[in-house]
Amino acid sequence: MPRWLTRSAMFITLLLTLTACSRIGLAYRNLDLIIPWTLNDYLDIRGAQKDWFNERLKDHLTWHCTTQLPGYLDWLDRLKTMVQTDQVTDEALQQRTQEAEAAIAETAREITPSAIELLQGLNDDQVDDMDAAFVKDQRKRQQQYLKPTLQEQIQERSDRMVKRLDDWLGPLTDAQRQRVTAWSTALGDQNQQWIANRAHWQNQFSEAVAQRHSPDFPKRIEQLLVNRESLWTPAYREAFSKTEAQARSLLVDLMAESTPPQRERLLKKIDGVKKDFTDLKCLKAARS
């Protein structure tokens, strides 16, 4: 994955949701990563399929760079202004989230026809391998995120967040670390809802691909990729809204307690992401 895509994906994930299971994590990546699983991990694509895929990938990246990235620069400017003027508020974060989600939806709609065409061309062995990989993925995540005790899950989630924040803000103060611990504690058994919803989506995806030659297959895949929220489990739907609210509250409090060096580091990070965008040849060509 290009470095600027990786950085922007991490940046948006951190600043908007702070969770590994959110829809934000689906955005700003290559075609093979924009849907909520990695083709390289779940599908064996080779030969003519791989050649076709690579050509489509180039087309989508060109589209993304020339039509979407200019808007990201404006988005980053708005984010930077929030930090500079101490206006990292719940309302402002909701606005930035809505803007990012709109961009995600547009990108998902753009790549869905290619995803449909690719999936319709799979043979039975490839589909069987994909299904088996889904099962393996579910077992792995259950082992990693659900086997630990609830207290261990809370501590591990807190540790992961501190590591992310250290990268963007620098070392956290004791008060900030305590706030992260409180955030993680408030999420409770969120891992359970996340893993269950992920498995629910994967199972529905497998069922759809099994009927990939049916007339309603394109519509079904569009729902799975573009309108994923409509397929969430009730428990996850309820948990997600609470998770987003907890994330915004955490960000507001952390920035309110931030030190001048932390804010300076964050602003430099934002500038770094923006520079990655502006240095892209495709973006320069679109602006010329």
CA separation, residue 124 to residues 52, 87, 127, 264, 269 (Å):
19, 54, 5, 54, 46
Q: What pLDDT was estimated at residue 207?
A: 97
Those residues whose C-beta lies under 8 Å from the C-beta of residue 123, and which sit 6 or more positions away, are none
- Which of the four pLDDT bands, split at 50, 70 and 90, describes residue 4? very low
Residue that is written with structure tokens 């083709």 in the block: 39
47 class by beta-carbon count within 10 Å (0-12 exposed, 13-18 middle, 19+ buried): exposed
pTM of the shown model: 0.84
Q: What pLDDT was estimated at residue 100?
A: 84
Q: Within 10 A of 226 (CB to CB), how many other CB atoms are there?
A: 18
Token digits for 191?
Answer: 């891992």
Range in 37-46, 174-183, 279-288 with the lowest mean pLDDT: 37-46
Token digits for 84?
Answer: 């500079």
List pLDDT tens digits, range 11-34. Answer: 444 443 332 233 323 333 333 334
List pLDDT tens digits, range 152-202. Answer: 999 999 999 999 999 999 999 999 999 999 999 999 999 999 999 999 999
Q: What pLDDT was estimated at residue 274?
A: 85
Token digits for 117?
Answer: 């065409």
Those residues whose C-beta lies under 8 Å from the C-beta of residue 141, and which sit 6 or more positions away, are 195, 198
Those residues whose C-beta lies under 8 Å from the C-beta of residue 6, and which sit 6 or more positions away, are none
List pLDDT tens digits, range 91-104. Answer: 999 999 888 888 88
Q: What pLDDT was estimated at residue 13?
A: 40
- Which of the four pLDDT bands, split at 50, 70 and 90, describes residue 40? low
Those residues whose C-beta lies under 8 Å from the C-beta of residue 255, and which sit 6 or more positions away, are 83, 86, 88, 263
In whole angstroms, give the CA distance from residue 59 to residue 76: 25
Mean pLDDT of 270-280: 84
Report the alpha-carbon angle 134-138-144, nearest 5: 140
CA separation, residue 4 to residues 29, 161, 276 (Å):
9, 21, 6
Mean pLDDT of 220-235: 92
- Most confident option among 40-54, 59-73, 222-236: 222-236
Q: Which residue has the higher pLDDT, 114 or 218?
A: 218
Report the alpha-carbon angle 41-23-17, nearest 5: 115
Q: Which residue has the higher pLDDT, 111 or 210?
A: 210
Q: What pLDDT was estimated at residue 5?
A: 34
List pLDDT tens digits, range 112-147. Answer: 898 899 899 999 999 999 999 999 999 999 999 999
